[in-house]
């Protein structure tokens, strides 16, 4: 790997995202049928540096701006939603390497193409004893885990104290059993299947955030991991919505109703719907990126991203998902009967974008939380 490949510029990262997005756009049916990404596609994203966007620089990561990373995920999702989704999950998961002892992190991140993926929900149980941790658990929504080198599993960790504490544990992928559960309507190619381990014992240095281990005090890590996770979901939804408009515009030039000589592009209703979709999507996108940029400027100044800024990002992210769904729905409806077939890109966009809304980070309850904060009412902000 060359020095440029080791340390790509933002321009090079965005160019690689565009190139891979175009390359993956023709493989959506392949990924959907396999219900996971092919290993060569995952390897290409690793080679481009996307899986180490949030890995600490001192380990060989990029510590990229969330602004740049969001644009990468969005652009990938334009070509293939599953690729955008897996990329942001792996990037966010990689940030956990800053929360374990450095020697362990270096051993895990032994190659710049190392991929980490997994789940934060504490579905596992672990016990610490004499410098080791033993974990049992089964986790859902393991996006990209079948392509990963290391797999995270959120667990309740008992170290002999009064109450177990919640942590993720980094587990070697070869010691994880992947279960055939990912039979779903959308985002089929993400491989978000269940996985489990039984009585797996590892050094306790594999417990994320345990024993006082904290990330570097650099700009990226002023963003909580939950904030980075939510940002990725919004980016993917925006990418899908842009692809849906582009697809509708493409085939509207030739699509005609039965016994009609005018194309879909000639109809006044199409003009109205496409104009409204463009306005809604661009407005949501502007709010999304503006909220991230405002927080990034604060982080670059060495300050923690505040509750108010996290509130704004979460509102902008949830709004981006909702606006993207409305945009795709409108394009799907305009597409008429042509949109319902399995080989239609619009039906795939429809299925994929509706799946993004099912993630807890952008659930309707997030609007209740941010609304409480705007009104000055006490709110639970631990996952904001």
- How confident is the model at residue 5, as a pLDDT? 54
Question: What's domain 3-99's architecture?
Answer: Orthogonal Bundle (1.10)
Lookup result for tokens 């509708």: 248
Residues 6+ apart with CB under 8 A from 150: 108, 114, 115, 116, 117, 118, 170, 171, 172, 173
CATH homologous superfamily, domain 223-374? Butyryl-CoA Dehydrogenase, subunit A, domain 3 (1.20.140.10)
Task: Assess contact for 45 and 84: CB atoms under 8 A.
Answer: no
Kindly give the interhelix angle for 10-24 and 39-48, rounded to the nearest 10 degrees: 160
Residues 6+ apart with CB under 8 A from 176: 145, 151, 195, 196, 197
Domain-wise residue ranges, the chain: 3-99, 116-212, 223-374
pLDDT tens, N- to C-terminus, the chain (384 residues): 544 457 899 999 999 999 999 999 999 999 999 999 999 999 999 999 999 999 999 999 999 999 999 999 999 999 999 999 999 999 999 999 999 999 999 999 999 999 999 999 999 999 999 999 999 999 999 999 999 999 999 999 999 888 999 999 999 999 999 999 999 999 999 999 999 999 999 999 999 999 989 999 999 999 999 999 999 999 999 999 999 999 999 989 888 777 777 899 999 999 999 999 999 999 999 999 999 999 999 999 999 999 999 999 999 999 999 999 999 999 999 999 999 999 999 999 999 999 999 999 999 999 999 999 999 999 999 889
54-58, Cβ contacts within 8 angstroms, sequence gap of 24 or more: 54/91, 54/92, 54/94, 54/95, 54/220, 54/228, 55/94, 55/95, 55/97, 55/98, 55/109, 56/97, 56/98, 56/105, 56/215, 56/216, 56/218, 56/221, 57/218, 58/102, 58/216
**What phi, psi does 229 have (nearest 5°)?**
-65, -45
0.85 surpassed by pTM = yes
- Structural class in CATH, domain 116-212: mainly beta
pLDDT in tens, 156-201: 999 988 899 999 999 999 999 999 999 999 999 999 999 999 999 9
């Amino acid at each position: 790997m060359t020095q440029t490949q080791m340390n790509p510029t933002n321009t090079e990262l965005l160019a690689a995202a565009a190139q891979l997005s175009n390359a993956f756009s023709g493989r959506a049916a392949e990924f959907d049928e396999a219900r996971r990404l092919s290993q060569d596609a995952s390897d290409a994203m690793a080679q481009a540096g996307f899986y180490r966007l949030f890995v600490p620089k001192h380990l060989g990561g990029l510590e990229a701006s969330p602004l740049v990373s969001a644009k990468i995920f969005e652009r990938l999702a334009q070509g293939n939603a599953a690729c955008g989704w897996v990329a942001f999950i792996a990037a966010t998961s990689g940030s956990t390497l800053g929360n374990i002892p450095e020697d362990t992190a270096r051993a895990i991140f032994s190659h710049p193409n190392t991929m980490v993926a997994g789940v934060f929900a504490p579905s596992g149980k672990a016990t610490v004893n004499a410098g080791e941790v033993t974990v049992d658990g089964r986790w859902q929504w393991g996006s990209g885990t079948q392509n990963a080198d290391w797999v995270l599993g959120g667990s309740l960790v008992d170290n002999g104290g009064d109450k177990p504490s919640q942590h993720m544990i980094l587990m070697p992928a070869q010691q994880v059993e992947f279960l055939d559960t990912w039979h779903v309507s959308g985002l089929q190619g993400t491989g978000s299947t269940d996985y489990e381990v039984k009585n797996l014992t590892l050094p306790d240095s594999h417990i994320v955030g345990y024993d006082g281990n904290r990330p570097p005090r650099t700009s990226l890590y002023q963003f909580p991991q939950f904030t980075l996770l939510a940002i990725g979901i919004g980016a993917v939804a925006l990418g899908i919505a842009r692809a849906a408009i582009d697809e509708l515009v493409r085939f509207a030039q030739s699509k005609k109703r039965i016994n009609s000589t005018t194309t879909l592009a000639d109809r006044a209703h199409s003009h109205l719907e496409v104009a409204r979709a463009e306005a809604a999507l661009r407005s949501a996108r502007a709010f999304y990126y503006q909220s991230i940029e405002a927080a990034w400027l604060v982080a670059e100044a060495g300050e923690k991203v505040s509750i108010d800024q996290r509130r704004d990002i979460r509102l902008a992210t949830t709004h981006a998902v909702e606006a993207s769904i409305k945009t795709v729905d409108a394009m799907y409806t305009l597409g008429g009967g042509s949109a319902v077939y399995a080989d239609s890109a619009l039906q795939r966009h429809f299925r994929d974008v509706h799946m993004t809304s099912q993630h807890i980070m952008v659930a309707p309850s997030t609007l209740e939380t941010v609304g409480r904060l705007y009104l000055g009412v006490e709110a639970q902000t631990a996952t904001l």
